[in-house]
Structure 1
Amino acid sequence: MTPTPTPAAQENWLRLDNQICFSLHAASRAFNSVYRVILKDLGLTYPQYLVMLVLWEHGDLPVKKLGEHLRLDSGTLSPLLKRLEGAGFVRRERSTVDERSVEVRLTEEGAALRERAVEVPRRITVATGFDIDGIRELRTRLDELTTALDAAALSDTPGCS
């Protein structure tokens, strides 16, 4: 059994600089700033880039499946897709198999954009200051964290056993 922390220790728990969530939030904002500069030449925002990555990897997908890959709901995804469609990178079409489903397809221009995006990961790697092994290790730990948090969110009382 874990001993009860002292009041002084509990007080430190509430310091902003002791919050892992804030460290992740700050890192995410810093990433977004770097991506904003790098993606400017491609005409993409970071969330749009993520959509394009999934489509380049998997090809045509229903909106629902695309949202699952990105962990985004349709209310967040729809405006992204509308902007990507307006830019000429994707097309949204009703499925011929299930008219309730909307398929997202790359246009010729969207597929061609992949060649220009090849340098993005290298530039991001340089910006992190990490070597490839450091990035792989961090990804592994973040994936483990995501899995643990997903499991905690599904339990009746997250963080308690």
Structure 2
Amino acid sequence: MNAPLPLTEVPTATSIDHVLDLHLRLAQGAVQRRFSDIFSDLGITQTQLTTMILIQENAGTSQSDIGRTLQMDRATVMGIINRLEGRGLIQRGQSPTDKRRQTLAITEAGTAMLSIARERSTELGNWLKERFSDAEFHMLAALLKRIHEVDIKAF
């Protein structure tokens, strides 16, 4: 990892250097490619993995809860849930307190997959972290959260 240059030594920027949406898209593409390399044999996407983690960590959660947290429309979330359920990784259930609400739970197969996926997530996290100092990494996470304005922990 290279130390940041003092502001007095930063090279003159080209016009494209400040097209932030371009850099966000390129960074996301790099992360997606790395994710695919690490997780390809599990046949799971980033969104499916995140959904499974949210379900596992939030007993009795629903499709609506997932949609709000991930800022996704109902149809998209339903497709994700259907695919995960079709693979036997999650199951739908009935809320004991609200008959209109379906709950989601991780199956044994889903728990086994998440165990493997969490180990591999460490590899992906390390790949990201090696590009930054600890302070830069935490700052980047905070700045990205500010853009999307979602408090995942408030789920």
Tell whether the structures are fold-level matches, with TM greater than 0.5: yes
Cα separation, 2, equivalents of 1:139 and 1:25: 16
TM-superposed deviation, 1:74: 1.3
The 1:145/1:112 distance shift into structure 2, 3 A limit, reads same
Residue 39 of structure 2 corresponds to which residue in structure 1?
39
Residues 1:137 and 2:139 aligned together: yes
C-alpha contact 1:35 1:46 (8 A) present in aligned 2:
yes
Residue 120 of structure 2 corresponds to which residue in structure 1?
120
C-alpha contact 1:93 1:102 (8 A) present in aligned 2:
yes
Q: Indicate the RMSD between aligned Cα atoms, in angstroms.
A: 2.3
Q: Which runs of 5+ in 2 are unaligned?
A: 1-14, 151-155
The aligned runs of 1:2-151 (5 Å cut-off) are 17-128=17-128, 129-131=130-132, 133=134, 134-147=136-149
C-alpha contact 1:94 1:102 (8 A) present in aligned 2:
yes
Cα separation, 2, equivalents of 1:91 and 1:132: 40
Residue 130 of structure 1 aligns with an amino acid whose one-letter code is R
Structure 1 residue matching 2:103: 3-state secondary structure: strand
Cα separation, 2, equivalents of 1:90 and 1:117: 15
Cα separation, 1, equivalents of 2:43 and 2:74: 22
TM-superposed deviation, 1:123: 1.1
Structure 2 residue matching 1:99: 3-state secondary structure: coil
Residue 9 of structure 1 corresponds to which residue in structure 2?
none
TM-superposed deviation, 1:146: 2.6
Cα separation, 1, equivalents of 2:82 and 2:31: 24
What is the total number of aligned residue pairs between the two structures? 135
Structure 1 residue matching 2:98: 3-state secondary structure: coil
Query: Larger RCO: Structure 1 or Structure 2 (Cα < 8 Å, ≥ 6 residues apart)?
Result: 2
Residue 154 of structure 1 corresponds to which residue in structure 2?
none
Seq. identity, %: 25
Structure 2 residue matching 1:118: 3-state secondary structure: helix
Highest Rg: 1 or 2?
1
Cα separation, 2, equivalents of 1:90 and 1:56: 9
Cα separation, 2, equivalents of 1:56 and 1:24: 29
